[in-house]
Structure 1
Amino acid sequence: MAQEAIQKSRVIVWFRDDLRLHDNPTVHAAATKVKTKQAAEVVPVYCFDPRHFGTTPYGSKKTGDYRAKFLLESVQDLKQNLKSIGSDLLIHMGRPEDALAELANVEQKTTILLQTQITSEELNVEAKVKRAVKGKAQCESVWGHTLYHPEDVPYKLDMSDLPDTFTPARHKIEQHAQVRAALPTPQQGELPLPEGLPKAMLECNPQAVEDLNAVVPKGSQQLSTQELNEHAVHRFTGGESEALARLKYYLWDTDLLASYFQTRNGMLGGDYSTKFSPWLAHGNLSARTIYHEIKKYESERKANKSTYWVIFELLWRDYFRFFTQKHGNKLFAEYGITGKKLRWSEDPQAFQRWKDGQTGLPLVDANMRELKQTGFMSNRGRQNVASYLVLDMGVDWRKGADWFETVLQDYDVCSNWGNWVAAAGLTGGRINHFNITKQSKDYDLEGEYVKTWIPELKDVSSKRIHEPWLMSQSEQQQFGVSIGQDYPAPIPSSQLVRPHGSPEGGRNPGGGRGRGRGGKRGHGRGGRQNDRHRTQPRGEYERFG
């Protein structure tokens, strides 16, 4: 009887945002069940859930064209990698509760393995799946998102005692926790695929972004393939294969890792930062794999501030997930963690100007145009556009977070919404109110980045590129641009809402000096004059994506 039970036991691996085979806890758990005779067959499945392709509360695509492309490529790559070890990926164009109920069978002991999720939309889908398979299968969730396993960090499992600021949490985790070893990649035959699987799922293999329109709900915007802009910092291709190739390139082929600290605030080119974030967000690349490769690099080549700083960034990513676990749906609430009520702008055009890169502030506009045309933006850019939208224009921060969810290729629910609620000054930490003009001069002194994305200003001198509204009529004629016609004039300071109040001395459209919460004069919106040389981030929640 026991042997008969084993022969009938099935494991379903339900892939979601863990689209890889290396260091994948759900895949490893499935392979272990086979090795220990707890299961005889493994069924990997991915579902293109219509709920991911609907319309957001603010009228945008929940998954935009660039992320849809990256997701599709990730699923295609996973299918090929599974085939290479004698398995396959079943693909369902529809809701997972329908697919998993069909794959589970009352005559066969079935276990559904899935990666642990902590946010409401994902948990609601899990609840629907559990109801659909009740009496047919049991679900087992396995933690897999983070560098540090939550069982190993010096806080309660529900993170209720996690500090609400990053630095004390980082110090304690680094002092008391260890990163676990990466799990092995399954080999040939370790995920035996049964016969008799649904032909429609087994043969389903969408090839183009437009194929995903089959699951776009009625009334929602259709998806379409976008041509890659010639100025895009990187030609991102989804999938584990490309992710591991990028890791090898950044560490071993080029030694770019060794200079990351010096280049990380760049905005042009493919190599100023790791560019790991889209692959991390889709689970194509494991944070632990990055960590252990860096440790190997430090042992064999060089260990310095740059090699540590990439690990530091991974810990930021962990922190946002733990922070989300602690606060739950407060992360998405209008007044955030603090509940502080703010007054938002009622100007319907303000948000659209920001989305379209038409605010009149070149650094903001260049970054927003890059985002809209490529699905990517630098960390430096994300900090500045968020600060300007919320702290100057006074637009409800959730609109910005929602737009990033739509457009970003590297959208991660915890990092995105955690950063935005912090940018709005609603976590209890200090408020980083950036002086956009100063930031532009600090990080794009000659205006090369601005001119790349705002061709209207391509002939403007470096002296005026960051404040084009200061040009005289003769200068506008000289540089071939008319402010207010070819390129917009910025919103006057008198019309800015500034929900936390106007920064001290803020008299120009790019902002002025001021006091950030808990900071001294000059440490808030304007920041330190030498902030690009600081060895710590400017303040809590600085890192995006």
Structure 2
Amino acid sequence: MSERTILVWFRNDLRVHDNEILLEATRKADKIVPVYVFDPHYFTVTPGGGQKTGSHRAQFLIESVADLRHNLQKLGADLLIAHGNPAEVIPQLAVQYEVNEVYHHREVALEETNISEEVEAALWKMKLNLKHFIGHTLYHKEDLPFPIKDIPDSFNTFKKKVERDSNVRPCLATPELINMPALADAGQIPTLDDLGLPAPGADVRAGYSFKGGETIAWHQLEQFFANYSAARNTKSTRNSASSKLSPWLALGCVSPRQVYWEVVKHGQEINNHPLMLELLWRDYFRFMFKKHSHRFFNPEGFKGAAPELADNQEELFEQWKSGDTGVHFVDASMHELNATGFIGNAHRQAVAAYLVKDLKVDWTRGAQWFEEKLIDYSPASNWGNWAYIAGVGNDPRENRYFSPKAYTELDPKGEYVKLWLNSQPVA
């Protein structure tokens, strides 16, 4: 009887723990071929002249893929690194390694689903199946109290019903050993230079740094719980609520389920925990993308018309993205974003609202800028939040104006503005 081989196509699920496609493949096949494809499409220049993926995000991706390879090697396997169009690369590898089936996690945004469909069509011609798994959300789609088409277009309604009527599944086991066929060439992980991107550099003003990978994700999670517990003991959680886990969640270096069960493990109340609200918003936008798809990318969003626009779009947008608007808090936030690839959620709301409501610039341009710059970029969260702030999202209240916290509340002593506007980065 011939051996069965399954190709595991990693995308935004760069972990060995709580990873259904990896575990299921080891159970169903004699050998598996773990693959990550660096698709040139994601490293192109956009029509606006920017990079589709900026240096900070690309560096974080490279580190995450390298850590996945290291963790697979500890399980007796390796990660095959390929370069090119997945619709061409995956079928070629399937032939080379006599693959019987391909596994991957399903995505929800239009661009990513189109790539999956192209791969599926190419494999279908070879009489091979691309099996889809669901593994990017806290709540599994099949466990929701409503079908996707009937998901409430109000976050609060969604939150109440899910918390009341749904349960979070347990985390999945980790394979103890992975058998692989002999690789002709495991491939090299690219450098930023290979991808046509400059080194991002370091900026000590940030006071923090991000490094990609599942290993670091767990350190970050444990550090958050340590800080949060200490702050609770002093009854001051204001500065401890931000986990900064979003970059690792975006690439699937840690799963939402793992975060949930760590909250439970640490004996902290679920419904009022800041991490739960973050994960629920993340789920909500992913399910909304599954429901509405391309509407999130249109300037008019869910409304009949796009927001009013100023005449001098180019000039205003250039001022905003370079942090040269004259509004100190907005400018400081944009300087931090451009220098580090990250700003806190309240800062994102503030700069987005200023671009759309005050400058009257097309909100999709801001969303595209965030797509390039943010190391935690995720299509559903990014575009969903921008549409929401622009007033064209799926909120049932008419003419909703999302009002972020006042700049003075976010920076009462002006220390943040002073740091990012009046000081110079030190290499």
When normalised by structure 2's length, the TM-score is 0.93
| Secondary structure of the structure 2 residue equivalent to 1:98 | helix
Map of 1:109-258 to 2, 5 A cutoff? 110-133=100-123, 134-156=125-147, 159-187=148-176, 189=177, 191-195=178-182, 197-199=183-185, 202-206=186-190, 208-211=191-194, 213=195, 222-252=196-226, 255=229, 258=232
Equivalence for 1:432: 401
Choose from 104, 126, 135 the match for 2:94.
104
Q: Secondary structure of the equivalent of 1:102?
A: helix
Q: Which amino acid aligns with 1:177?
A: S
Greater relative contact order (Cα < 8 A, sep 6+):
2
Letter in 2 for 1:392: D
Partner of 1:13: 8
Measured at CA, do residues 261 and 155 of structure 1 come closer, stay the same or move farther in structure 2, by a change above 3 Å? farther
Pair 1:295 & 2:264 matched: yes
2:355 matched residue in structure 1? 389
Kindly state the Cα deviation for residue 106 of structure 1 after the two structures are TM-superposed. Answer: 9.1
Relative distance call for 1:305 and 1:100 in structure 2 (3 A) is closer
Shift of 1:164: 1.1
Q: CA deviation at 1:401?
A: 0.3
RMSD: 2.2
> Which segment drifts farther, 55-64 or 394-403?
55-64
CA separation in 1, counterparts of 2:73 and 2:96?
A: 28
- Asked whether the equivalents of residues 45 and 91 of structure 1 are also in contact (C-alpha less than 8 Å), the reply is yes
CA 1:70–1:11 in 2, change beyond 3 Å: closer, same or farther?
Answer: same
- The answer to whether structure 1 residue 47 and structure 2 residue 37 are counterparts is yes
Deviation of 1:418 (Å): 0.1
Equivalent position of 1:357 in the other structure: 323
Per the alignment, residue 283 of structure 2 pairs with 318
Cα deviation, residue 256, structure 1: 5.2
Distance 1:415 1:255, change over 3 A: same
Mapped to 2, the partners of 1:358 and 1:136 lie a distance apart of 56
Task: Assess, with a 3 A threshold, how the Cα gap between structure 1 residues 107 and 232 changes in structure 2: closer, same or farther.
Answer: closer
Matching of residues 267-346 of structure 1 within 5 Å: 273-298=242-267, 302-303=268-269, 308-346=273-311
The answer to whether the 8 A contact 2:264-2:270 is kept is: no
Q: How does 1:433-512 map to 2 (within 5 A)?
A: 433-434=402-403, 439-455=406-422
Q: Which amino acid aligns with 2:192?
A: V
Using the alignment, how far apart are the partners of 1:260 and 1:316 within structure 2?
A: 28
Tell me, in whole angstroms, the C-alpha distance in 2 between the residues paired with 1:323 and 1:80.
35
Render the CA deviation track for 1:356-402: whole Å, top value 9, x for unaligned. 11111111111111000000001110111010100111100000000
| Runs of 5+ consecutive residues of structure 2 not aligned to the other structure | none
Call closer, same or farther: CA 1:234–1:256 in 2, change over 3 Å: farther
Amino acid at match of 1:161: D
Kindly state the Cα deviation for residue 255 of structure 1 after the two structures are TM-superposed: 2.5
Distance in 2 between residues matched to 1:16 and 1:75, nearest whole Å: 10
Question: What CA deviation, in whole Å up to 9, does each residue of 1:244-292 have, x standing for no partner?
Answer: 111122224773574899545x5xxxx5510100000011011100100
Shift of 1:443: 1.9
* Cα gap change, 1:256 to 1:168, in 2 (>3 Å): farther
Does the CA-based 8 Å contact 1:260-1:273 persist in structure 2?
Answer: no
Once the two structures are TM-superposed, the CA of residue 185 in structure 1 deviates from its matched residue by 1.6
**Deviation of residue 433 (structure 1)?**
4.7
The structural deviation recorded for 1:16 is 0.4
Q: What does residue range 373-384 of structure 1 map to in structure 2 within 5 Å?
A: 373-384=339-350
In 2: Cα distance, 1:305 partner to 1:173 partner: 11
Q: Flag the 1:102–1:276 CA change in 2: closer, same or farther, 3 A.
A: same
Cα displacement (A) at 1:92: 0.6
Looking at structure 1, the residues matched to 394 and 167 of structure 2 have their Cα atoms a distance apart, in angstroms, of 29
Q: Provide the secondary structure at the position in 2 that maps to 1:319.
A: helix
Contact map agreement 2:352 2:386 (CA 8 A) in 1 = yes
1:233–1:412 distance in 2 versus 1, CA, 3 Å:
farther
Q: 1:226 to 1:175 in 2, by over 3 A?
A: same
Counterpart contact for 1:10–1:42, Cα < 8 Å: yes
Change beyond 3 A, Cα 1:274–1:456? closer
Judging changes above 3 Å, is the alpha-carbon distance between structure 1 residues 259 and 155 closer, same or farther for their aligned structure 2 residues?
farther
- TM-score for the superposition, normalised by structure 1: 0.73
Sort the Cα spacing of 1:14 and 1:304 in 2 relative to 1 into closer, same or farther, 3 A.
Answer: closer
Q: Which amino acid aligns with 1:43?
A: V
- Specify the alignment match of 1:543 in structure 2: none
Native 8 Å contact 1:389 1:400 kept in 2:
yes
C-alpha separation in 1, matches of 2:287 and 2:231? 27
The one-letter code matched in structure 1 to 2:141 is P
- Which residue pairs with 1:64 in the alignment? 54
Q: Output the CA distance in 2 between the equivalents of 1:344 and 1:294.
A: 44
Alignment gaps of 5+ in structure 1 = 34-38, 214-221, 458-545
Q: Which amino acid aligns with 1:89?
A: L
CA–CA distance in structure 2, aligned partners of residues 259 and 239 of structure 1: 31
One-letter amino acid of the structure 1 residue matched with residue 37 of structure 2: C
> 2:132 aligns to what SS in structure 1?
strand
Aligned residue among 75, 83, 95 for 1:93: 83
Deviation at 1:62, TM superposition (A): 0.6
Q: Secondary structure at the match of 1:160?
A: helix
Seen in structure 2, the aligned counterparts of structure 1 residues 257 and 31 have a Cα distance that, compared at 3 Å, is farther
Q: Which structure's CA Rg is the greater one?
A: 1
Matched-pair contact (CA < 8 Å) for 1:66–1:375? yes
Structure 1 pair 70–354 and aligned structure 2 pair: CA distance change class (3 A) = same
List aligned pairs for 1:394-433, cutoff 5 A: 394-429=360-395, 430=397, 431-433=400-402
Q: Deviation of residue 153 (structure 1)?
A: 0.7
Q: Secondary structure at the match of 1:182?
A: coil
